[in-house]
Amino acid sequence: MKNQWVWLVLMLTSTAVLALGEPGRWTQGWGQGVTEYMATVDEQNALYIGCGDAKKVFMMVTIQGKEYVPEQHIYDPNDKNAFALIVDGKRFDTPYLTESRVGEQNFYNMWDKLRSAKSIAVETADKQLLTLPTQDVASILPATKAAEFSCLMWDESEDPAPAAAPPPAQTSVAAALPSSAFDVSWHIEDIWVNMPAKVLQVVSHHDNITIQDAIVNRGNCRSTPHQKLPLTLRFGGTAKFIVPQNCNILELRLFTNQGEALYQFDAQS
């Protein structure tokens, strides 16, 4: 059985999850390293946009309870789950295909128009049409140049970050913690639809300790917490971090209010 926090992201294709958005308006949520935007008509009809560390942009729509989860990487003219957004009469085909400069620009243009939209609709490959609400869209969707905008904000290249990149700021407490401070392991989970990532699990062996940052491979791999940091854990409390699947996890450095803990892993073949 999947852990509850993973279920919240794994089941993005569940109508029940989409129904968490408030009917008749746009809403925003955050969880497991994912910023979530939903335009909800009712529990059977909604648009979902997610931006996170495992995927720059993920989009899906539910119409009359049917879930449309299109191919998110390459254009497939035969994709039966494909859809377009129509914003104030302007059509944006396959706006979720963002892994090219043209695709990115299409997404930016769509996003900017959404923020001031008077009408929004979705049309699917099988000609289903869903009219979406516009209430609160301007306040929920941040401007593309705002600090809060997290879509398309990182490079999915497998090349490591330059070695000369400045190290992350350390905490004010520099004392080294023993490895027994935490139990650390990792496993692979599908955190998006058919999109696996590595999940680092950190279990506290302290009664009261606060994790302030987690650095993987000296900053060469991104790690996204499933809960916002700083995170205070009691004995047995668990923190989890999403790491891209192509990261060969060799080292995890945890910065806490009580010091720094370092963990090393065998190379994965």
pLDDT at 13: 37
pLDDT at 54: 54
Q: What is the pLDDT along the chain (269 residues), one digit of tens a residue?
A: 333 333 334 344 333 344 457 899 999 987 666 788 999 999 899 999 988 755 678 899 999 989 898 887 778 889 999 999 999 999 999 999 987 888 889 999 999 999 999 999 999 999 999 999 999 999 999 999 888 888 875 444 433 444 444 555 544 445 899 999 999 999 998 765 556 778 899 999 999 999 999 999 998 887 877 777 889 999 999 998 888 888 899 999 999 999 999 999 998 76
- Classify burial at 193, counting beta carbons within 10 Å of its beta carbon; exposed 0-12, middle 13-18, buried 19 or more: middle
pLDDT at 157: 41
For residue 195, the number of C-alpha atoms closer than 13 Å in the C-beta half-sphere is 23
pLDDT at 192: 55
For CA atoms 51, 55, 57, 62, give the dihedral sign.
negative
pLDDT at 169: 53
pLDDT at 8: 38
- Domains assigned to the chain: 4-140 (no CATH), 179-264 (2.60.40)
pLDDT at 216: 93
pLDDT at 139: 95
Q: In whole angstroms, give the CA distance from residue 19 to residue 47.
A: 10
Give the full edge-to-edge strand order of the sheet including 231-233: 231-233, 209-216, 251-256, 259-264
Q: In whole angstroms, give the CA distance from residue 71 to residue 80.
A: 9
Give the tens place of pLDDT for each residue, 38-61: 999 998 999 999 887 556 788 999
Burial 97-120 (b: 16+ CB within 10 A, else e): bbeeeebbebbbebbebbeebeeb
DSSP 190: E
Give the tens place of pLDDT for each residue, 3-14: 333 333 434 433
pLDDT at 75: 84
